[in-house]
Structure 1
Amino acid sequence: MNVKEFCEKYYVERNGTNCLKWDALDTRFGDPELISMWVADMEFKTPECVTDALKERIDHGIFGYSYVPDTYYQAVIDWEYNHHGYKIEKDWIRTSPGVVSALYWAVNMFTKENDSVIILTPVYYPFHNCVKDSNRNLITCDLNYDNGIYTINYDKFEENIIENNVKLFILCSPHNPAGRVWKEEELERLLEICEHHNVLVISDEIHQDLVFGEHKHIPTASIANGKYEDMVITAFASSKTFNLATCLTSTIVIKNEKLRNTWDEFTKIYNQVEVNIFGLTAVEAVLKGGEEWYQALKEVILHNYNTVVDEMKEFPDTYIAPLEGTYLLFMDLRKYIPLNQIKEFTQDKCRLAVDYGEWFGENWKGFIRLNLGTHPDIVLKAITNIKDNLRNIKNK
């Protein structure tokens, strides 16, 4: 299935469907007429295997208490091994209503108030929120940035851990919004530092399936043949890959028995809810039958990325990073737009709703994050608006 065929078959208009991405533009941005390029959500219907499985469940007509079936566990285990080479066991798996929920739980179950938690910025803003909302001490370590290329400052990372007696590291892999797919040696160096200083690692790997070219997602817990597995808790979901965000079903992998027991005791107190039968049904179905859709989606994202790169050649100092992972693009506008005019330029002139750089870290104002998980026509319109308005500024 090529890009055109995929879009004709699966693209859907979302206005008027209680859609956060489009119908909340007035509330979130004060303007309902913007082109929505912000939240990590897509305009593509899920594969037929999902709707078929949900229809079958609905036709049964009973939506009572349920549990996680063995077939669900096996689908997760098979997908993780077949796509990422990580062999996990059923006993290690827990579920949560979302990866963000799991991050909030982890901060509260594995640290105390005023403990320090470190993150690599710029990074997805719920990483910041789950620490600050829980009355923990947020430690940010900026990635090195060199004209669109993001790398880790290991010395600063370790220095921050030592100076602040950090207890927990929340890792984003692949990294949102920088789009980095961390190499094995990068992950191993981070884990070495954390092990040396007794820092627990929570690895958010929700974008694990959205990796491009020669890049390969390496599950953090699998590094060095599982050497660090006992100090890593992994969180991932099918929600980004298959557009299932409100199915509220994510996977948590915890090999260490002591950590699992802590997780179970905490969730027994603070998460006394039943499993979501629709989420379990959708995720199991898509992991078993969504491969063709998934591969075609990646072609759409790659096509959209290439469109942006081609269109922005006139403005090379926007420093568009190579597409390694995620369907998100972090663009640097600082060479062209004064920092105090970024919102005016992006929203009022370009007519775009985007995620702003400062949402991901205080030192990243002047960047914007664009969502490539949408129809190519929407991406082309958005990037044309940026290009045309940059050209107007350049020609003045």
Structure 2
Amino acid sequence: MNETEACVVEIDIEKDYTVERAGTNSTKWDGLKSRFGRDGLLPLWVADMDFKAPECVREAIARLNGHGVYGYHMVPDGYYRAFIDWEKRRHGYEVKKEWIRFTAGVVSGLYWFINAMTQKDDACLILTPCYYPFMDAVRDTGRKLVCCDLVNTDGYYTIDFEKFEEAIRANAVKMFLLCSPHNPVGRVWTKEELRNLLEICKKYGVFVLSDEIHQDITFGGHKNIPAAAVGDYDNMLAILTSASKTFNLAGMKNSFAVIPDEAVRSRFDRFVKANRIARGSVFGYAAAEAAYRGGEPWLEKVLEVIAGNDAYLRDELASKLPGVTVTPLEGTYLVWIDLGAYVRPAELREIVQEQCGLAVDYGEWFFENRTDTHIRINLATSGKNIETAVQRLVEALGGGKEHKIK
């Protein structure tokens, strides 16, 4: 595709794109027993959408499939151009083609960069609560995990920069894994916050890897700022991002590493070569290119659905369960909810899973060795599913007496 191909402008996500996923080998819908011990739960955990991908993506895949040949392929030039244009238009960040590298998903990219840029037993730092594969990546590669807690003020999370700097100094941290926008607390970091983090890392020679996979999912006037766009930090950072969260393409296993510095690229390339990591799937390239070229109208409609689900959940819980704290949603489609006024940590799974019949991500998964009363709910689903989930929580907790965790 050389011309921009827009998907159908008149889009009704709830009516035309919401799809039944049970029985399709969906991890979210069909993998419940392995994760939660039983089936029959309403899945609101895995961070993918219950919506069909944009029409232009499905058309591009159909054209490719129609050719009928699945042999060796080169990476299309249009794939790079579509991503470069998207970054400039949506994020004001000018990416050069030579900076771009392939990863088989952002989580794979975390592992690859940790191996490429650090040594065994080196310390890697994350801000917690954080998407738990960050912790897995550090532990699985034999590095030392250092966690620095965000400051929680009535559900709004900020960074304690003094504590962040002390954690780096005390542990001789070599790498900082930044989540931006932050999963699960929904923060879209400001330019000042990003610059403060990067300045501290620069002071101590810490390499920064910024996971920006949720960059396009923002609300309320908040806009993601690429970490590399806040100042002169190119020689100490790389960005990971993808079309997967934006356009529901996670199964395509196609993500971007943006590496502005030649020396950093060389280290990454040596790791890739030594591990004989090949290109991605031809379908992944075609899907990403089509999405970036023509998927914007679809995305805007999806954002409206997510925002509507968030508003409903927030209003209903405020009205029916006023002790619940729902973190403001600046970015991502994942809402972070504290049920601690009604539920003790030991009761959380029994109430949410067994009484409410919900499959959610539990707060303790996002910390290192800590009990917690948060749940994370995926809003990228039908309004009916969100209404059902909220009603079940209200019914289970509405008659309960609030208590504070001792």
TM-score bracket for this pair, using the shorter chain length: over 0.9
CA RMSD of aligned residues (A): 1.6
C-alpha distance in 1 between matches for 2:44 and 2:10: 19
The one of 174, 182, 206 equivalent to 2:213 is 206
1:245 aligns with 2:245: no
Give the distance between the partners of 2:351 and 2:74, measured in 1 at CA.
Answer: 50
Aligned pair 1:391/2:398, yes or no?
A: yes
Paired residue secondary structure (2:268): helix
Instruction: Describe the shift of the 1:3–1:199 C-alpha distance in structure 2 as closer, same or farther (beyond 3 A).
Output: farther
Q: 1-side partners of 2:99 and 2:402: how far apart?
A: 59
Q: CA deviation at 1:395?
A: 9.5
Pick from 176, 184, 204 the counterpart of residue 191 of structure 2.
184
Partner of 2:317: 312
Asked if the contact 2:309/2:379 (under 8 Å) is kept, the reply is yes
Amino acid at match of 2:354: D
Note the C-alpha offset of 1:3.
11
The structural deviation recorded for 1:229 is: 2.1
Alignment-mate amino acid for residue 141 of structure 1: C
Paired residues for 1:142-221 under 5 Å = 142-221=149-228
Q: 1:58 aligns to what? A: 65
Q: Which amino acid aligns with 1:312?
A: L
- Given candidates 1, 9, 24, the residue that maps to 2:16 is 9
CA distance in 2, matches of 1:364, 1:335: 15
In the aligned structure 1, how far is the partner of 2:265 from the partner of 2:233? 15
Contact 2:102 2:279 in 1 (8 A): no
Partner of residue 230 from structure 1, selected from 232, 235, 238: 235
Q: Which residue of 2 aligns with 1:19?
A: 26
Q: Give 1:315's aligned amino acid.
A: L
SS of the equivalent of 2:74 reads coil
1:323 deviates by 1.5
SS at match of 2:181: coil
**2:339 aligned to 328, 333, 340, which one?**
333
What is the SS of the residue equivalent to 1:392?
Answer: coil
How many angstroms apart in 2 are the aligned matches of 1:231 and 1:395?
A: 48
Residue 29 of structure 2 is aligned to residue 29 of structure 1: no
CA distance in 2 between counterparts of 1:252 and 1:185 reads 24
2-side partners of 1:160 and 1:328: how far apart?
28
> Which residue does 2:89 correspond to in 1?
82
- The separation in 2 between residues aligned to 1:110 and 1:3, in whole angstroms, is 46
Q: Alpha carbons of 1:33 and 1:167: their partners in 2 closer, same or farther (altered >3 Å)?
A: same
TM-score (norm. length: structure 1): 0.97
Alpha-carbon contact 2:253-2:280 (below 8 Å) kept? no
Report SS of the residue matched to 1:373: coil
- AA paired with 1:112? Q
Partner amino acid, structure 2, of 1:69? P
Structure 1 residues 83 and 173, CA, compared in 2 at 3 Å: closer, same or farther?
A: same
Map residues 360-375 of structure 1 onto 2, 5 A cutoff: 360-362=366-368, 363=370, 365-375=372-382
SS of structure 2 residue aligned to 1:316: coil
Give distance in 1, aligned partners of 2:187 and 2:233. 21
Counterpart for residue 324 of structure 1: 330
The range that moved more, 234-243 or 384-393, is: 384-393
Structure 1, unaligned stretches of length 5 or more?
A: none
**Structure 2 Cα separation of the partners of residues 190 and 288 of structure 1:** 33
Equivalent residue for 1:258? 263
- How far the C-alpha of 1:322 sits from its partner, in A, is 1.6
Letter in 2 for 1:96: T
1:289-347 Cα distance to aligned partner (Å, 9 max, x none): 10110000000000000010111013233211221000001111112101111111110
1:348 aligns with 2:354: yes
Within 1, Cα distance between the matches of 2:371 and 2:96?
Answer: 40
Task: Return the TM-score normalized by structure 2.
Answer: 0.95
1:184-237 alpha-carbon deviations (Å, 9 max, x no partner): 00000000100000000000000000001111100000003xx11221100000
What is the identity, as a one-letter code, of the residue corresponding to 2:127?
L
Q: Percent identity?
A: 47
Change (3 A) 1:120 1:364: farther
Secondary structure at 1:394's aligned position in 2? coil
**Which residue does the alignment assign to 1:132?**
139
Which residue of structure 1 aligns with residue 3 of structure 2?
none
Q: Is the 8 A contact 1:2 1:299 kept in 2?
A: no
Q: 1:271: Cα distance to partner?
A: 3.8
1:29-73 CA distances to partner (integer Å, 9 max, x unpaired)? 112100001010111000110111101101101111112121110
Structure 2: stretches of 5+ with no match in the other structure:
1-7
Contact 2:345 2:371 in 1 (8 A): no
Structure 1 residue matching 2:329: 3-state secondary structure: coil
Partners of 1:317 and 1:25 in 2: how far apart? 29
**Matched residue, 2:273:** 268
Aligned ranges for residues 56-135 of structure 1 at < 5 Å? 56-135=63-142
